[in-house]
Amino acid sequence: MLPVFAQFAAVMFFLAGLGLLNLLWLPVLDLSFGIQDLGAIIRAPFQLWMWLFRQLGANGYWPAVYFTIGGGLLLFFLGTLAWLRNRARKRDVADQLVYRLSRHPQYLGWILWSYGAFLLLLQARYPRRSWGIAADLSWLLATMAIVGSLQQIMTVTGVRGLISYAVISTPLMLLYPLLIVLIPVSEGILTYGAAAIIGIPLVWFLDSIGMHATVVIAGLSLLWPLGDGLPPTALIGRLTVMISDYRESYWSFLKETWLPWLVITAVGILMVIFSAKLSFLVDWSM
């Protein structure tokens, strides 16, 4: 999934006009396109690792993948744990646990994990079709325009206000389970418009009854992207299927995501419900 979203982000970057920064490379590429191959130096540690394993008569590919991804994630979480422990003790400088080895263990862990993902992609079926995605964006642009028009019509006719009022007037005991369905479905229908129509009044309402707005927003930010895989718009879902050349039906694609869907939903809704008790996470980060 990493190259899928990386390519999507790259195309959005280009459509936003920022891709013009690539022009800075033109004088260099005019000398030789081979200069781009200098980036292959990133393979040097991996090649050294493979050479050492060959001396032992073993294949070091999967050990390298497991070590970099597993070690990177472990270092990241140990660094986060040490940072939280430091904040709980009200210390200004973290100098315990993994911070004795690295000044920025989370960054180091992320770099290791990213390198492992790079190694994993060396043998993965890379969706090269995604390089031509710019020619297939008409449906995406049309969907965005239609949703924008629908949102304006809802505003003019008063439907937007009616929906917002209906959400914030729902009893809490009913609202919490309703959010599990309402947030993804609204995103699947209105995409970015759902946050304006439902999200803003919902956050305001929950904040007014004593919940922590920042934690609520963080929880909702986990629930809303799930709707990007739901019809009728299914922007990210359709894009993923298209550029990864997925051959099965879209319904079978959705069924494959049921486990992470449940986990993300559970974490998101619990963050909303217990936002007041989780406010210490925000206080520690200040």
Cβ-based burial of 120 (10 A; exposed 0-12, middle 13-18, buried ≥19): middle
Which position has the higher pLDDT, 19 or 256?
256
Is 223 within the bounds of a domain? yes
d(CA 215, CA 269) in angstroms, rounded, equals: 11
d(CA 13, CA 20) in angstroms, rounded, equals: 10
Is 212 within the bounds of a domain? yes
Domain match, 77 and 161 both: no
pLDDT in tens, 173-190: 899 999 999 898 888 888
The model's confidence at residue 225, banded by pLDDT at 50, 70 and 90, is confident
The model's confidence at residue 5, banded by pLDDT at 50, 70 and 90, is very low
Degrees (nearest 5) of the Cα angle 51, 122, 75?
A: 75
If you write DSSP's letter for every residue of the chain in order, what string do you get? -HHHHHHHHHHHHHHTTGGGGGGGGHHHHHH-GGGGGGGGGGGHHHHHHHHHHHHTTS--HHHHHHHHHHHHHHHHHHHHHHHHHHHHTT-SS--SGGGGT-S-HHHHHHHHHHHHHHHHHTTS---GGGGGGGGG-HHHHHHHHHHHHHHHHHHHHTHHHHHHHHHHTS-HHHHHHHHHHHHHHHHHHHTTHHIIIIIHHHHHHHHHTT--HHHHHHHHHHHGGGGGGSTTT-HHHHHHHHHTT--S-HHHHHHTTHHHHHHHHHHHHHHHHTTTTTHHHHHHH-
Domain match, 30 and 55 both: yes
Domain match, 144 and 233 both: yes
Query: What pLDDT does 26 receive?
Result: 53
Is 258 within the bounds of a domain? yes
Domain match, 242 and 190 both: yes
Structural domains of the chain, count: 2
Is 128 within the bounds of a domain? no
Alpha-carbon distance values, 220 to 147, 159, 179, 215, 267 (Å): 21, 22, 9, 9, 10
Is 130 within the bounds of a domain? no
Which position has the higher pLDDT, 65 or 246?
65
Domain match, 17 and 106 both: yes
**Where a domain ends, among 121, 146, 176?**
121
Is 9 within the bounds of a domain? yes
Query: What pLDDT does 27 receive?
Result: 56
Span 49-54, mean pLDDT?
90
**Where a domain ends, among 97, 121, 145?**
121
Query: What pLDDT does 30 receive?
Result: 54
Query: What pLDDT does 125 receive?
Result: 52
Domain match, 17 and 113 both: yes
Domain match, 27 and 104 both: yes
- Do residues 112 and 102 make contact, with C-beta atoms less than 8 angstroms apart? no
Span 90-110, mean pLDDT?
77
Query: What pLDDT does 266 receive?
Result: 93
| Range(s) of the domain holding residue 229 | 137-285
Is residue 236 over pLDDT 60?
yes
Q: Compute the radius of gyration of the chain from its Cα atoms.
A: 23
Is 132 within the bounds of a domain? no
Query: What pLDDT does 263 receive?
Result: 92
**Where a domain ends, among 89, 121, 153?**
121
Span 66-80, mean pLDDT?
87
Span 118-139, mean pLDDT?
55
Is 189 within the bounds of a domain? yes
Domain match, 167 and 275 both: yes
Lowest mean pLDDT among 9-13, 44-48, 245-249, 267-271: 9-13
Lowest mean pLDDT among 31-40, 114-123, 131-140, 186-195: 131-140
Domain match, 25 and 165 both: no
Query: What pLDDT does 102 receive?
Result: 76
Please give the share of the chain, as a percent, with pLDDT higher than 90.
5
Query: What pLDDT does 262 receive?
Result: 92
